[in-house]
Amino acid sequence: MTVRQIALVDVNNCYVSCERVFNPKLLNRPVVVLSNNDGCAVARSNEAKALGVKMGEPWFKLNDLAKQHGIIALSSNYALYADMSNRFMSILRRFSPDQEIYSIDESFLDFSSFSRKDLTVLAHDMRNTVLRCIGLPVSVGLGSTKTLAKLANHCAKKRPEFNGVCNFNIMDIETLDSIMMQIEVGEVWGVGRKLSQKLNDLGIMTVFDLKRADPAQLRRHFSVVMEKTIRELNGTVCIEMEEIAPPKQQIVSSRSFGMPVTTIEELGQSISLYVSRAAEKLRNQQSYAGSLHVFIHTSPFRTDQPQYSNGFTVPLPSPTDNTTRLASIAMWVLNQIYKPGYQYAKAGIMLGEIVPAAGIQNDMFSNMEPDSKSDRLMQAMDAVNKKMGKGKLIVGSQGYGQPWAMKQERKSPSYTTNWDELLKID
Predicted local distance difference test score (pLDDT) of residue 406: 63
Overall pTM surpassing 0.75 (yes/no): yes
Predicted local distance difference test score (pLDDT) of residue 424: 78
Would residue 312 be called left, alpha or beta, if left means φ above 0 and alpha means ψ between -120 and 50 degrees?
beta
Predicted local distance difference test score (pLDDT) of residue 106: 95
**Spatial separation of the C-alpha atoms in residues 260 and 297, rounded to whole Å:** 11
Predicted local distance difference test score (pLDDT) of residue 53: 92
Q: What angle do CA 167, 169, 174 make, to 5 degrees?
A: 100
Predicted local distance difference test score (pLDDT) of residue 363: 57
Give how far Cα 233 sits from Cα of 23, 70, 174, 185, 242, Å: 40, 43, 14, 11, 19
Predicted local distance difference test score (pLDDT) of residue 362: 58
Helix H or strand E encompassing 413: none
Low-confidence residues in the chain, pLDDT < 50: none
Predicted local distance difference test score (pLDDT) of residue 187: 93
**Spatial separation of the C-alpha atoms in residues 199 and 233, rounded to whole Å:** 16
Report residue 419: phi and psi, to 5°: -55, -35
**Spatial separation of the C-alpha atoms in residues 193 and 195, rounded to whole Å:** 6
Which residues share a beta bridge with 106?
10, 103
Predicted local distance difference test score (pLDDT) of residue 223: 86
Predicted local distance difference test score (pLDDT) of residue 114: 81
